[in-house]
Amino acid sequence: MTGSDQNKAPGSTGGAVGTIANNDIRQPLWLLAELTYACPLQCPYCSNPMDFANVKKELTTEEWLEVFRQARAMGATQLGLSGGEPLTRPDLVELVTEARKMGFYTNLITSGVGMDASKVAELKEAGLDHIQVSFQASSEDLNNLIAGTDAFKHKIEMAKAVKANGYPMVLCFVTHRQNIDKMDEILDLAISLEADYVELATTQYYGWAMHNRDQLLPLKEQLVEAEAIAHRYQDEQKGNMKIYYVVPDYYEERPKACMNGWGNVFLTVTPDGTALPCHAARELPGMGLPNVKDMSIDEIWNGSDDFNRFRGFDWMTEPCRSCDEKEKDFGGCRCQAFMLTGDPANTDPVCSKSPQRHLVDEALERGRLEAAKSIIDQKTLVFRNPKNSKQISGL
Amino acid sequence: MSESIFTADSIPVLALGYRFQWEQAQNCNVLLYPEGMVKLNGAAGEILQRISEKKQTVTELIDELKAAFGGADLDGDVYQFLEEAYNNDWIRPE
């Protein structure tokens, strides 16, 4: 998972002229296929589960195609091919070819590692609609430090190859305390690469990022500075390069409308075939974790306890239950509510109305204390790799 | 009202990364783009389908629509739609 599709409102259509309003039928419009947990990078803010090394057996080509067919029949139009690094799947071109034939809009979410110019051309030929390349930071040293591998020069070449093949260049930078001070360098790099879209995504604290939270949470003053720079570039680049800047939800007063509502438009299938309402939901207690090898997508989407668990508003506790904003943000993120408060039905503690907002403020304070330590005393970042996964998860 | 983007001779094309298709599950035409979808009403579908299938000038597009819809006077509506579609980043003049 390279990090940028976490905050999207999938299926959003706006209210433009010539459009039809969305109906109320829940359809899995957005299928995120996490094809593999294999990844040459070791980003410490990865949203993959800590115990990813436990997953040995990935779905086969035919099993993935069957998932695609079923989801497509249920209305899915957007297919995200993610991971791990999806390029490590030898059947990626075949999966793209077939998905495109089914009518999917195919999005490849990649670090660019493992790609060369001929691979980009091959994917284009297969009908791939869209490529998003993630960067860890703007300079080679920092990028390689954060990604834990020597990948930066290669990424720049790939970003250029993407553009040369007629794709809009969509760059994603995942920001955090260690790189957010480089906002101007990041945007200058994007300009020099002639990017069409730049997403300044903020680290979301799930999986590995949660484990490394004290070292990754940006400081308030860093955010103020970064936001000012981002807005300046937005103005300067108007009509040229679109810049999306996302504020970390820990610093917001209201929670994000996570996944546009639980089991509403979003379906994740993990490398081993587990179907989830979002890519972090595996960590929640009491999940049945239905697998596409045992059940149809229809049964999972419409019938499973997991997907029905937080639909609608009946599951809500106070203050969400009687809140007039509940239809706007659905109470925020269930996984964040669980990780921070211990109960996934609680209000996302990011919300200033939550009686547990102090948990978020305390996390910010811990980050501040960590940042104030000398380099030697600071905790080291734990990189996402199989060795650490096994060690931390006791596998 | 800002200056119009499309004139009689301009050739409207779908913006980079946009795709037009019929969606059975929605029972309507749609535009697909990175991580999103627009569901189109009948008139928007008729116009964008023609734009996606064939490169032609706005005049030719309007003629084709008139032929398909019994000669109705729809010049103003088409121009207005094209401008709004441009403002939504769906199309651009080639």
pLDDT in tens, A164-177: 898 888 889 999 99
Mutate to test the interface with B, among A7, A69, A77, A267 (most CBs of B within 10 A): A77
Contact A4, A172 (CB under 8 A): yes
Q: Which residue has the higher pLDDT, A118 or A62?
A: A62
Contact A85, A110 (CB under 8 A): yes
Q: What is the pTM of this model?
A: 0.90
Give the chain B residue whose CA is nearest to the CA of A124: B17
Q: What is the pLDDT of residue A146?
A: 63
Spatial CA neighbour of A316 closest among A342, A346, A337:
A346
The B-side interface with A (CB below 8 A) comprises 16-17, 19, 21, 23, 25-26, 28, 30, 32-41, 43-44, 81, 84-85, 88
Q: What is the pLDDT of residue A69?
A: 98
H-run or E-run covering A81: strand A78-82
Contact A172, A213 (CB under 8 A): no
Q: Does A285 touch chain B (CB under 8 A)?
A: no
The pLDDT-based confidence of A192 (bands split at 50, 70, 90) is: confident
> B21: which chain A residues are within 8 Å (Cβ-Cβ)?
103
pLDDT in tens, A201-235: 889 999 999 999 999 999 999 999 999 999 999 99
Task: Quote the strand ranges of chain B, DSSP E.
Answer: 12-14, 19-23, 28-33, 36-39, 91-93
Q: What is the pLDDT of residue A24?
A: 66
> Is the pLDDT confidence value at A6 over 80?
no
State mean pLDDT over A272-277: 97
State mean pLDDT over A82-86: 93
The pLDDT-based confidence of A156 (bands split at 50, 70, 90) is: confident
Cα-Cα end-to-end distance for chain A: 22
Q: What is the pLDDT of residue A25?
A: 72
> Is the pLDDT confidence value at A155 over 80?
no
Query: Which of A6-20, A31-45, A146-160 is predicted least confidently?
Result: A6-20
Mean pLDDT rounded to a whole number for chain A: 89
Burial class (CB in 10 A: 0-12, 13-18, 19+), B81: buried
Q: Does A290 touch chain B (CB under 8 A)?
A: no
State mean pLDDT over A261-265: 95
Tokens in use for A162?
Answer: 């993407």
> Is the pLDDT confidence value at A375 over 50?
yes
CA distance A75 to chain B (A): 5
pLDDT in tens, A318-345: 999 999 999 999 999 999 999 999 999 9
Spatial CA neighbour of A203 closest among A192, A191, A211, A193:
A211
% of chain A residues with pLDDT over 90: 66
The pLDDT-based confidence of A22 (bands split at 50, 70, 90) is: low
The A residues from 162 to 201 touching B (CB cutoff 8 Å) are 166-168, 170, 196
Contact A36, A88 (CB under 8 A): yes
Ordered per-residue pLDDT tens for chain B, 94 residues: 457 899 999 999 999 889 999 999 999 999 999 878 999 999 999 999 999 999 999 999 999 999 998 888 889 999 999 999 999 989 999 9
> A130: which chain B residues are within 8 Å (Cβ-Cβ)?
17, 34
Q: What is the pLDDT of residue B11?
A: 97
For A303, list phi and psi in degrees, rounded to 5.
-110, -20
Give the chain B residue whose CA is nearest to the CA of A103: B21
Distance CA A118, CA A385 (A): 28
Q: What is the pLDDT of residue A149?
A: 64
Burial class (CB in 10 A: 0-12, 13-18, 19+), A209: buried
Q: Which residues pair with A266 in a beta bridge?
A: A30
The pLDDT-based confidence of A290 (bands split at 50, 70, 90) is: very high
pLDDT in tens, A96-152: 999 999 999 999 999 888 888 899 999 999 999 999 988 776 566 666 666 666 667
Contact A17, A64 (CB under 8 A): no
> A75: which chain B residues are within 8 Å (Cβ-Cβ)?
23, 25-26
Q: What is the pLDDT of residue A210?
A: 92
> Is the pLDDT confidence value at A2 over 60?
no
Distance CA A231, CA A237 (A): 10
The β-bridge relationship of strands A30-34 and A78-82 is parallel
Mutate to test the interface with A, among B35, B46, B87 (most CBs of A within 10 A): B35
Contact A356, A281 (CB under 8 A): no
Contact A131, A108 (CB under 8 A): yes
Mutate to test the interface with B, among A5, A6, A7, A17 (most CBs of B within 10 A): A17
Q: Determine, for residues B37 and A170 on separate chains, whether the beta-carbon distance falls below 8 Å.
A: no
Q: What is the pLDDT of residue A3?
A: 35
> Is the pLDDT confidence value at A11 over 70?
no
